[in-house]
Amino acid sequence: MMSFAKLRHTLFTVHMWIGLILGVLLAALGLSGSLIVYDQEIANLLEPPPVAATAGMPLPLTMIANAARRAAAENGIEGGQMQILPPQKPRQAVVVRFGGISPMGAGANREGRREGAPRGIQIFLDPVSGEVLGTRTAVLPSFLTFAHQLHGNFLMRRETGRPLVGWLGVAMCILGLTGLVLWWPRRGQWKYAFKVRADATGLRFHRELHAATGIWIFLVFMAVSFSGVVIAWPQTAGMNPPGANSRAMPMVPVQNTKPLGATEAVIAAQAAVPGLVPRSISYPARPGQPVTVNYLSNGAVNASVLLDPYTGRVLMVRDSSERFLTWMRPVHDGSLNGVWRFLVFLSGLVPLLFVTTGIIMWWKKRQRRIPMTTMTDEVAEEEET
């Protein structure tokens, strides 16, 4: 049977080589994740969105959508996918997106787009007057779009990049678990295990900084890493069960019937889910697909009502907020609440610190010709320079 000392040496080797080999990739993944936690706030700081100034009763969303369609047509986009985001705060504009715009970059769908027109556009409208307040051809500035693409697919095709991100998440989980075992203090050393001593220098300083940071952020780091793995393989984890894809439910157009308006879509969704506050109303690019009204369930989990675009009949209510796996995305992106969001932001910064202190410790050992499998705390006692 393997002794604890031998097990610890083995875990140290695994921990060290994963960090050395994948450290740069893990740091890039973490930093990009921290950046996109506050992506919208950064975007609004760099380019403040227009403010709605008209006082009074808001117009029906159907009228707002029609005004947005006219503005989109003037910019060379007619038809195609449309998403309406009602204001969530006072003086906030209604945002209407066309062309599959997402934080990963404007969609490539050419349907309904004239030659030379932007691939996607978002239009800001006053909810009371319906006046067009401004337009953007991207949801986020280019460096934030780059951060989303790096964090989501590592700048690769989704089929290749998403599994890579998933395996990097697995590596982070392994580093966290092995790090916990390596951190576990010896008898009588617990009072030093959660801090960096003021007189610590050299190898000891980097070891204590590495260990103390790791234990203080451990639970958040593990939660974010594990949820990232689940998001990378949602089908495996049961987050996207078969039959939940709205594309599998084509509707038959009703002759001489106009598609469902946005106001009517919200009313139908509220009849199915009393008290529903719409976060967005999405119209598909192709006719005959369901209209989707999205809302927050239990304050954090995205849920939706799928409607027949011609009759308004409720086809499905997707609310899996009681399922553990459904909470993985708000856990990962920090949308649970403000405090958790800040902790998620911090957890994305620590891989860079871990990589930096880990490389320094590795290099100092090489300089002193100390075997790599020798535990850091065994030599730190005599390291003072």
Kind and range of the H or E element at 303? Answer: strand 301-307
φ and ψ at 97, to 5 degrees?
-105, 140
Separation CA 3–CA 18 (nearest Å):
23
Question: Is residue 247 predicted with pLDDT exceeding 70?
Answer: no
Confidence of residue 243 (pLDDT cuts 50, 70, 90): very low
Instruction: Tell me how far the alpha carbon of residue 215 is from its chain's centroid.
Output: 24
Percent with pLDDT over 70 in the chain? 86
Indicate the pairing of strand 278-283 with strand 132-136. Answer: unpaired
Q: What is the dihedral of CA 68, 71, 77, 80, to 10 degrees?
A: 10
pLDDT score, position 374: 55
Chain mean pLDDT for the chain: 87
Percent with pLDDT over 90 in the chain? 62
Separation CA 298–CA 292 (nearest Å):
19
Q: Taking CA 271 as the corner, what is the angle to CA 266 and CA 275, rounded to the nearest 5 degrees?
A: 80
For residues 214 and 368, which has the higher predicted lDDT (pLDDT)?
214
Question: Is residue 108 predicted with pLDDT exceeding 90?
Answer: no
pLDDT tens for 287-335 read: 778 999 999 998 888 999 999 998 899 999 999 888 888 899 999 999 9
Which of 10-24, 35-49, 364-378 bottoms out in mean pLDDT, i.e. has the lowest?
Answer: 364-378
Of 221, 223, 228, 309, nearest in space to 265 by CA: 309
Q: What DSSP designation does 191 have?
A: G
3-state SS class at 149: helix
Separation CA 98–CA 234 (nearest Å):
27
Confidence of residue 118 (pLDDT cuts 50, 70, 90): low
pLDDT score, position 120: 84
pLDDT score, position 242: 44
pLDDT score, position 1: 60
Neighbours of 358 (CB within 10 A): 21
Q: Are 265 and 237 in contact (CB under 8 A)?
A: no
Q: What is the pTM of this model?
A: 0.84
Question: Is residue 4 predicted with pLDDT exceeding 60?
Answer: yes
pLDDT tens for 173-225 read: 999 999 999 999 988 888 889 999 999 888 889 999 999 999 999 999 999 99
* Burial bucket for residue 116 (CB in 10 Å: 0-12, 13-18, 19+): exposed
Q: What is the dihedral of CA 364, 367, 373, 374, to 10 degrees?
A: -80
The count of C-alpha atoms lying within 13 angstroms of the C-alpha of 133, restricted to the half-sphere facing its C-beta, is 21
pLDDT score, position 340: 96
* Burial bucket for residue 77 (CB in 10 Å: 0-12, 13-18, 19+): buried
Q: Are 378 and 194 in contact (CB under 8 A)?
A: no
pLDDT score, position 373: 55
Q: Which residues pair with 288 in a beta bridge?
A: none
Find the mean pLDDT for residues 97-110: 73
Find the mean pLDDT for residues 78-93: 90
